[in-house]
Structures are given as structure tokens and as C-alpha cells.
Amino acid sequence: MDISESRTLNIKGSSRLISDYFEICIHNILFQRHVYPKEDFKVIRKFGLNLVYSKDDDVIRYIKQIIKQLHRWIYDGKINWITLLIVSKDSNQITEKWMFHIDFIKSEENILNNEGNIIESISMVEIQKEIQSIIRQITSSINILPEFEEPQTFKILVHTTTDDFKTPNDWDDAKPFNDMNGNGIQNVKFSNISTDNHKVSTFVTYQTRDQ
């Protein structure tokens, strides 16, 4: 898809783009971290890059179910964190946390800087370049992350901004997992994605094995 240099996003488009970013990151992390075999993935073109996407119907259905609802919640400003947990199938121990923090920047009204001038909108080209940079950083980070010693699965958690949050009927509350503890816990922060309405920060937390 060709992207116009001058094209910008309104809040609805920004919410959709951020949701798409989460979706493609989840699929690529599952591939890069060998949560599922390589043959369970196909190559797709997204954000100007060749990326991977699961072919497993159950995985696709689970992720799609969440992403579909995320678009609405991001638009309404009801969530501020998305967490992808990678969990040991045998011990129920969390082995990695991939976290995405969402900041709501402003409404669709023009924002003035300290000098009273209108701040220039961020173009789609700039946003796509930021996404490409982060996805490459995530791929490169695999080199520093420890290999898993047992089979893994995953769970996606959504953290809300309000207490009176109505959970969809077909969603489950998060089951308890054994969190990371002890020494060797490390954090890596990646670059940010910024639109005119949202800023997303991406992190990974992991635990070194040489303890």
C-alpha cells in the first residue's frame, strides 16, 4: 500500500493502527520466541515489511477476538496496558512479559505549543517508519533473550483505566500464574510509536537463566 506523505490519522484511524500494531507484534513474538513451530506461520506484508502471521486457527481466533475489542477500547480511552505473557506449559511460570503501554495524547482539536503555534500533525509515513524501527528492534532483541528450556504457551492481558469496566461475555478473567521472582530479572525498552492521538511504549521483561 502506498502511503501519502501528507496523510495523517484521526483518532479512529489511530486506534485502528495501534490495534494492528499489537496484533502483528504478538504474531511475530510468538514466532521469534518459538512458542509455536516455524511451519505454523506464513509470511505477510504489513507496515512495509515482510512479517509472519500464525496459520493456527485457534491462535488466530484468540488474538482476533482481543484485537477486535481493543480497537473500541483504545478509541474510548478505556485501557492503558496490553501484556503478552509467555508462560511455561509445565510449571505455569511466567517466563517473559511483553508490555505495551498506551498514552492518550489529545483529542482531535488542534494543540498549540508554548509559542501559540499549531503543532504539526504526524504523517502516516513517519508513523510507519517508527513501527518498522520497533519491529526490527524486537527481532534483534531475540539475540539477547534466553532460550526456553520447556514448552511455552501465551496469554494476553488487558489492563483497564476504570473500575466499572464491563468484560465481554466470552472473555475470561486472567488465571493466576507464577510470576518471575529472584535475581536476574532484566527489562528492555524499545522506541515509541506516536500518532496525533496516542503514544505506545513497548517493553520486554525476562529473567536470565544463569542464576
Kindly state whether residue 4 falls inside one of the protein's structural domains.
no
Residue 2 resides in a domain: no
Tell me the pLDDT tens digit for each residue of 61-92: 999 999 988 888 888 888 889 999 999 998 88
Answer whether residue 1 is part of any domain: no
Percentage of residues of the chain with pLDDT beyond 70: 80
Type of residue found at 31? F
Per-residue pLDDT at 4? 42
Q: φ, ψ for residue 174 (rounded to 5)? A: -65, 130
Does residue 197 form part of some domain?
yes
Q: Is it the case that residue 9 has pLDDT exceeding 70?
A: no
Q: Does some domain include residue 58?
A: yes
CA distance 152 to 160: 26
E-only strand ranges, the chain: 41-46, 49-54, 79-88, 94-104, 152-160, 185-194, 198-207
Kindly tell me if the per-residue pLDDT of 113 is higher than 70.
no
- Domain span including residue 130: 11-207
pTM attached to this predicted model: 0.85
Cα 98 from Cα 45, distance rounded (Å): 23
CA separation for the pair 74, 69 (Å, rounded):
9
Would you state the pLDDT for residue 104?
85
Residue 202, all three cell numbers: 513497548
Which of 40-54, 80-94, 111-125, 189-203 shows the lowest per-residue confidence on average (mean pLDDT)? 111-125
Question: How many other C-beta atoms lie within 10 A of the C-beta of residue 179?
Answer: 10
**Domain of 39: which CATH number?**
3.30.900.10
Does residue 137 lie in a domain region? Answer: yes
On whether residue 43 sits in a domain, the answer given is yes
- In the chain, the number of structural domains is 1
Contact criterion met (CB below 8 Å) for 22 and 81 = no
Within a domain: 169: yes
Instruction: Tell me the CB-side half-sphere exposure of residue 113, using CA atoms within 13 A.
Output: 6
Give the three-class secondary structure for 27. helix
Cell numbers of 191, please? Answer: 522506541
- pLDDT for residue 2: 38
Under 8 Å CB-to-CB from 99, ≥6 apart: which residues? 81, 82, 83, 84, 202, 203, 204, 205
